[in-house]
Amino acid sequence: MSQTRHVPVMLQRCLDLLAPALEAPGPQPPVVVDCTLGLGGHSEALLSAFPTARLIALDRDKEALRLSGERLAPYGDRATLVHAVYDELPEVLDRLGVPKVQGILFDLGVSSMQLDEADRGFAYAQDAPLDMRMDQSTGMGAAEVLNTYPPGELVRILRAYGEEKQAKRIVSAVVREREKEPFSNSARLVELIRDSLPQAAKRTGGNPAKRTFQALRIEVNGELTVLERAIPAAVRSLAVGGRIAVLSYHSLEDRLVKQVFAAGAANTAPAGLPVVPERYQPRLKLLTRGAELPTEEEVAENRRAAPARLRGAQRIRAEER
């Protein structure tokens, strides 16, 4: 597997956001968590940029852990790789005896490896079994979702997770076709989507199958449900002064991150108090004005960076006991 093809998204900006927390002097080496290890591009850069830091990296994909393990081997015991989904962060830290961490990075969405390995079924540009599970040892794949979910549930998933305006047309075609023969491969689904859409819908927004594939991937991996738990859990895992950076790739993820950060940065005191008690003070300080976007140069170099949205926050107050 060539590691040169994997270009980490908004890498320097992520390092800059986390740097003040990982360079601050302290009694112990700082701990940074890469919640979405993937091929290890961000993790390798974190270990290289912050030579005193200890890295804990999570991934639900065993193949990603194996490949990244080879890549990060030169860093020895500074890197601890864990097979886990990112909402399991509190349990992982507890198991490792790490009470709080100084930095956390999320790079959400599908890793380059999963998109590039044809047999995983994530990519609509090549024919492959319709799987899309990030952890292939558990759960149902995309084919099973397509073949067994009631039509109304499929419409809901395509609308909610793919923001697909033509969800009803696509699902009608899927239901008609699955009765003739169950779905198993991606090429048949891509062709069906192309045939289902009106001409005007095919002319906008790249491959017409893109939104459906995104929706199925999110459903198969429970991504938004996991993220709803993971971002608040990550904020709670930060030491005071610690920083979190989150890269999202579609509006649903970004909205969720925005809501958690905004709630943490809000003053929750009842109106009219002359002095705001400590427990009502904000727990977070926002480090980005809205969501930051990749530069034109970065998008030209790495097309997968195009939809990225980066938000950062700093922990400024401990949890109330």
Give the tens place of pLDDT for each residue, 75-110.
999 999 999 999 999 999 999 999 999 999 999 866
- Mean of pLDDT values over 110-115: 48
Query: Two tokens at 78?
Result: 């500074």
CA 46 to chain centre: 18
**Tell me, what's the pLDDT at 123?**
58
Whole-angstrom distance, CA of residue 161 vs CA of residue 144: 17
DSSP letter at 185?
B
In the chain, domain spans: 11-113+223-315, 121-221
Q: What are phi and psi of 205, to 5 degrees?
A: 75, 30
Whole-angstrom distance, CA of residue 78 vs CA of residue 29: 10
Is 86 annotated to bind a ligand? Reply is yes
- Mapped onto helix, strand or coil, the DSSP state of residue 149 is coil
Whole-angstrom distance, CA of residue 102 vs CA of residue 24: 9
Query: Two tokens at 238?
Result: 């930060």
CB count in 10 Å sphere of residue 58: 23
- Mapped onto helix, strand or coil, the DSSP state of residue 83 is strand
Q: Which of 102-106, 255-259, 304-308 has the lowest mean pLDDT?
A: 304-308
Query: Two tokens at 181?
Result: 């023969």
Is 42 annotated to bind a ligand? Reply is yes
Q: Which residues contact 80 (CB under 8 A, 6 or more apart)?
A: 54, 55, 56, 57, 96
Whole-angstrom distance, CA of residue 224 vs CA of residue 231: 11
Pairing of strands 101-107, 79-83: unpaired
- C-beta contacts of 145-149 below 8 A and 24+ residues apart: 145/216, 145/219, 145/220, 146/174, 146/178, 146/183, 146/189, 146/216, 147/178, 147/182, 147/183
Instruction: Tell whether the model's pLDDT for residue 180 goes beyond 90.
Output: yes
Which numeric CATH code is attached to 121-221?
1.10.150.170
* Helices (H), ranges, 181-250: 186-196, 199-202, 210-221, 223-237
Report whether 196 contacts 166 (CB < 8 A). yes
**Tell me, what's the pLDDT at 199?**
75
DSSP letter at 292?
B
Pairing of strands 54-59, 31-34: parallel
**Tell me, what's the pLDDT at 204?**
63
Assess whether the region 11-113+223-315 and the region 121-221 belong to the same CATH fold. Answer: no
**Tell me, what's the pLDDT at 59?**
93
Is 107 annotated to bind a ligand? Reply is yes
**Tell me, what's the pLDDT at 114?**
44
Is 127 annotated to bind a ligand? Reply is no
Pairing of strands 309-315, 284-286: antiparallel
Is 87 annotated to bind a ligand? Reply is no
Query: Two tokens at 168?
Result: 């009803």
- Mapped onto helix, strand or coil, the DSSP state of residue 295 is coil
Whole-angstrom distance, CA of residue 132 vs CA of residue 189: 14
Query: For 116-143, how does the pLDDT look when each residue is reduced to its tens digit (9 = 90+)?
Result: 444 444 555 567 888 888 777 778 999 9
- pTM listed for this prediction: 0.83
Mean pLDDT for the chain? 89
Instruction: Tell whether the model's pLDDT for residue 191 goes beyond 80.
Output: yes
**Tell me, what's the pLDDT at 159?**
94
The helix or strand, by DSSP H or E, that contains position 207, with its residue range, turns out to be: none
Beta bridge partners of 200: none
Report whether 84 contacts 224 (CB < 8 A). no
**Tell me, what's the pLDDT at 113?**
44
**Tell me, what's the pLDDT at 276?**
82
Report whether 309 contacts 292 (CB < 8 A). yes
Whole-angstrom distance, CA of residue 72 vs CA of residue 120: 24
- Mean of pLDDT values over 163-185: 95
Domain covering 11-113+223-315, topology: Rossmann fold (3.40.50)
Query: For 19-70, how does the pLDDT look when each residue is reduced to its tens digit (9 = 90+)?
Result: 999 998 888 999 999 999 998 999 999 999 999 999 999 998 888 899 999 9
Beta bridge partners of 310: 247, 292
Query: For 193-252, how does the pLDDT look when each residue is reduced to its tens digit (9 = 90+)?
Result: 999 988 766 666 667 888 899 899 999 988 899 999 999 999 999 999 999 999 998 888
Report whether 216 contacts 143 (CB < 8 A). no
Q: Which residues contact 267 (CB under 8 A, 6 or more apart)?
A: 276, 280, 281, 282
**Tell me, what's the pLDDT at 124?**
59
Query: Two tokens at 237?
Result: 């895992």
